[in-house]
Amino acid sequence: MINVTRSFLPELADYIKYLEGIWDRGHLTNHGPLVVELENKLRDYLGVKHFFFVNNGTIALQIAIKAADLKGDVITTPFSYVATTSCLVWENCNPVFADIDPNTLTVTAETIEKVITPQTTGILVTHVYGNPCPVEEIEVLAKQRGLKVIYDAAHAFGVEFNNQSILNFGNISTLSFHATKLFHTIEGGGIITNDDELAHKISYMRNFGHNGPEAFYGVGVNGKSSEFHAAMGLCLIPKIEHIIEIRKSLSEFYSASLAGIPIQYLQIQPGTTKYNFAYYPIVFNTEVELLKAVKALNEKQIIPRRYFYPSLNTLHYVTNNLDNDNATAISKRVLCLPLYPDLAMEKVRVISDCIRLQLC
């Protein structure tokens, strides 16, 4: 079976070396030396000022929302994984959806501005499939309106825009290190900010609010991660450039193999973008064509994913009273094809030929 993704695993001996150190020290969690080492290495690799390793990408978003003091109406995207919206609802915010550009699949400054009201307190949007939002235009708009910006960068590990990390834009960015991600720690996430005050808040919010063992700055949660998860991340950091290069080669082969088929491809945000090839999405002309292709692929034990589907403005626990035609239409027609370092080129050809047979 060929699934949409497969977790990259290092050599078992490399991981065991870290486990032996954990056994020797007996320090399993609570900001152990491997967690500290991972945070330092990721801070350097990503080129950011403050980096916090947490136990998953969802808690990263929840802490970011609290640290930025977002309340009431928060503008977000209807085209993302459900966690982007559900975290806002969980934190008692009201998601207000700004529609996406049908080519880049991200929100735009224009669609955000269209839904800003006096009740708007912030912006939480996604670098979709690692494709950057128009961050410079959003920054101008946010400053004009006095709004904080959080970027859900779950897919954007290693992405750069105009020669700097995409994580340096906005007030806070969050990452997911789930096992399915390009870089993973089995379960895990990251919170990034260049703001010292926000960094201080994040530092205590992820650790129950602690200010030392017997004092507290304020309310916090348990956002810590363990030495075992950090060990996996430390094994993967030296391999990440190689992983991205393989994914790039596979993506380029997909594009060549699918050439001439009537489908739409992701348009990378205009500007100097260093992309990470986190996903390979295609957009069919109709949902009927998509379902036909999925059925044919499944019959060959190939399991792509309708990612993202459904459009989040259709969730039963949100109020949708806005125009999100692009997101609703794209979500019905988008399909992510299998992409992972162990995927053989001949399998890419099989997948592409199967889609071609259904559409041509």
CATH number at residue 247: 3.90.1150.10
Nearest-Å Rg of the Cα atoms of the chain is 21
pLDDT at 246 over 70: yes
Predicted pLDDT of residue 300: 97
Question: Which residues fall within 8 angstroms of residue 131, CB to CB, at 6 or more apart?
Answer: 104, 105, 106, 266, 267, 268, 269, 273, 275
d(CA 355, CA 71): 45
Q: Which of 191, 222, 238 is the last residue of a domain?
A: 238
Share of the chain above pLDDT 90, in %: 94
Question: Any idea which residue has 């000022």 for tokens?
Answer: 49
Predicted pLDDT of residue 251: 98
Predicted pLDDT of residue 353: 97
Model confidence pLDDT, tens digit, residues 206-223: 999 888 788 888 889 999
Pairing outcome for strands 50-54 and 172-176: unpaired
Same domain (yes/no): 219, 136: yes
Q: For residues 350-358, give the mean pLDDT.
A: 97
Q: For residues 260-272, give the mean pLDDT.
A: 92
pLDDT at 355 over 90: yes
d(CA 213, CA 23): 24
Domain total of the chain: 2
Predicted pLDDT of residue 269: 84
Same domain (yes/no): 89, 139: yes
Q: b/e string for 4-15 if b means 16 or more Cβ within 10 A? A: bbeebebeeebb
CATH code, domain with 141: 3.40.640.10
Same domain (yes/no): 141, 16: yes
Same domain (yes/no): 133, 280: no
Same domain (yes/no): 119, 208: yes
Q: Which of 238, 261, 277 is the last residue of a domain?
A: 238
3-state percent helix, strand, coil for the chain, nearest multiple of 5: 40, 15, 40
pLDDT at 313 over 90: yes
Same domain (yes/no): 261, 351: yes
pLDDT at 182 over 90: yes
Q: For residues 337-359, give the mean pLDDT.
A: 97
d(CA 153, CA 197): 21
Model confidence pLDDT, tens digit, residues 124-170: 999 999 999 999 999 999 999 999 999 999 999 999 999 999 999 99
Structure tokens at 119: 């009740």
Same domain (yes/no): 272, 131: no
pLDDT at 278 over 90: yes
Same domain (yes/no): 230, 253: no
Q: Which of 208, 238, 268 is the last residue of a domain?
A: 238
- Checking 207-216 for CB contacts under 8 A at 24+ apart, the result is 207/31
Q: For residues 257-263, give the mean pLDDT.
A: 97
| Residue 352: domain span | 239-359
Model confidence pLDDT, tens digit, residues 281-297: 999 999 999 999 999 99
Q: For residues 293-316, give the mean pLDDT.
A: 97
Predicted pLDDT of residue 323: 80
Structure tokens at 85: 């919206």
Same domain (yes/no): 213, 312: no
Structure tokens at 154: 């779950």
Predicted pLDDT of residue 319: 86
Binned at pLDDT 50, 70 and 90, residue 183 comes out as very high
Q: Is 37 left (phi over 0), alpha (psi -120 to 50) or beta?
A: alpha
In this structure, what DSSP letter does residue 53 have?
Answer: E
Question: Any idea which residue has 């969980």 for tokens?
Answer: 90
Q: What is the mean pLDDT of the chain?
A: 96
Predicted pLDDT of residue 321: 65
Q: For residues 116-130, give the mean pLDDT.
A: 97
Same domain (yes/no): 197, 282: no
SS3 of 242-292: HHHHHHHHHHHHHHHHCCCCCCEECCCCCCCEECCCCCCEEECCCHHHHHH
pLDDT at 298 over 70: yes
Same domain (yes/no): 33, 67: yes
d(CA 30, CA 14): 23
Alpha helices in 132-182 (DSSP H): 135-145
Q: How many helices (H) and strands (E) does the chain have?
A: 12, 15
Predicted pLDDT of residue 218: 87
Same domain (yes/no): 142, 247: no
Binned at pLDDT 50, 70 and 90, residue 302 comes out as very high
